């Protein structure tokens, strides 16, 4: 694998559904954007107006706007335009870039992700949606007493699993918890139970992943009739340009 030295001189945009916390006025807490879902991210210049004239948010997003008193959040529509050659500026920008990777619109190491982990908040990823860790005990209490249900926690961290946001075509994943949003899985990729794929990482062809593919690593397409097993993830000769 060759080392990436330049980022794409390209723009991207998309309408997203953002989740933001709604702290009480007397709590002293600031609202936190927990995540943004972009079902149809696009490459190219969105135009001079934001949002661009004639580009309306799809109904799949607008119909999902709501308030969730159990989690203490609300969802709302955002429009995001990104210069992929520059670092992300906020959570919405960061999530757009992760979606571009998982939608296979860009490949690992071609998009500037400098400062990504400084931007993204820590989140409790659950079966009812993202929650703020500091409020999670209250969320569990409201769910059990108000709705009589317990919450399943998938993970706690800054980046969620990919399948809750993007499910690319022609792939297989044995354990969805081991593939992060921002993973790039080429058609024909199988991620075995022992395999894991981080963000800004992935495959470039028909591949069976049986090991860990770390941030910045990109497995090349197989050659001939043999699948690439990935028992050793490829390494970048110099990772100084990677900010994570």
Q: Is the peptide bond before 51 cis (omega within 30 degrees of 0)?
A: yes
Contact 241, 224 (CB under 8 A): no
Report the DSSP pairing between strands 189-191 and 171-173: parallel
Report how many domains make up the chain.
Answer: 1
Higher pLDDT, 220 or 1: 220
Mean pLDDT value across the chain: 87
**Is 75 contained in some domain?**
yes
Q: Which of 70-79, 173-182, 228-237 has the lowest mean pLDDT?
A: 228-237
Under the banding of pLDDT at 50, 70 and 90, the label for residue 34 is very high
Contact 39, 60 (CB under 8 A): yes
**Is 94 contained in some domain?**
yes
**Is 136 contained in some domain?**
yes
- Give the residue numbers spanning the domain of 85: 11-157
Contact 94, 114 (CB under 8 A): no
What is the model's pLDDT at position 140?
95
What is the model's pLDDT at position 41?
95
pLDDT tops 50 at residue 92 = yes
Phi, psi (degrees; rounded to nearest 5) at 80: -125, 135
**CATH classification at residue 47:** 3.30.70.2010
Q: What is the pLDDT of residues 225-237, one digit of tens each?
A: 334 444 333 333 3
**Is 236 contained in some domain?**
no
pTM, entire model: 0.87
What is the model's pLDDT at position 178?
97
Q: What's the whole-number mean pLDDT along residues 21-36? A: 91
Alpha helices in the chain, H assignment, sequence order: 59-62, 91-102, 116-119, 136-146
Q: What is the helix (H) or strand (E) element at residue 202, kind and residue range?
A: strand 201-203
Q: What is the pLDDT of residues 100-120, one digit of tens each?
A: 999 999 999 999 999 999 999
Under the banding of pLDDT at 50, 70 and 90, the label for residue 147 is confident
For residue 224, give the 3-state DSSP assignment.
coil
Indicate which residues carry an active-site annotation: 210
What is the model's pLDDT at position 53?
63
**Is 165 contained in some domain?**
no
**Is 131 contained in some domain?**
yes
Per-range mean pLDDT, top range of 51-60, 190-199, 217-226: 190-199
Residues 6 or more apart from 167 whose CB is under 8 A from it?
Answer: none
**Is 1 contained in some domain?**
no
**Is 24 contained in some domain?**
yes
131: β partners: 124
Residues 6 or more apart from 168 whose CB is under 8 A from it?
Answer: 102, 103, 104, 185, 187
């Amino acid at each position: 694998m060759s080392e990436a030295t330049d980022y794409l001189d390209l723009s991207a945009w998309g309408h997203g559904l953002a989740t933001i916390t709604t702290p009480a006025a007397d709590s002293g807490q600031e609202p936190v954007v927990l995540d943004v879902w972009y079902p149809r991210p696009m490459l190219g210049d969105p135009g001079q107006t934001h949002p661009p004239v004639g580009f309306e948010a799809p109904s799949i997003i607008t119909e999902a706007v709501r308030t969730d008193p159990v989690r203490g959040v609300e969802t709302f529509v955002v429009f995001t335009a990104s210069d992929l050659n520059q670092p992300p500026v906020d959570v919405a920008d960061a999530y757009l870039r992760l979606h571009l990777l998982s939608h296979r619109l860009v490949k690992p190491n071609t998009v500037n992700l400098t400062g990504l982990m400084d931007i993204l908040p820590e989140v409790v990823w659950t079966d009812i949606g993202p929650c703020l860790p500091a409020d999670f005990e209250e969320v569990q209490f409201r769910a059990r007493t108000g709705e009589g249900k317990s919450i399943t926690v998938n993970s706690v961290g800054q980046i969620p699993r990919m399948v809750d946001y993007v499910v690319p075509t022609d792939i297989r994943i044995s354990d969805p918890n081991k593939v992060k949003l921002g993973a790039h899985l080429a058609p024909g990729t199988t991620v075995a139970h022992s395999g894991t794929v981080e963000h800004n990482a992935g495959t470039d062809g028909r591949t069976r992943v049986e090991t860990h593919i770390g941030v910045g690593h990109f497995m090349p397409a197989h050659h001939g009739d043999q699948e690439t097993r990935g028992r050793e993830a490829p390494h970048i000769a110099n990772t100084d340009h990677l900010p994570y």
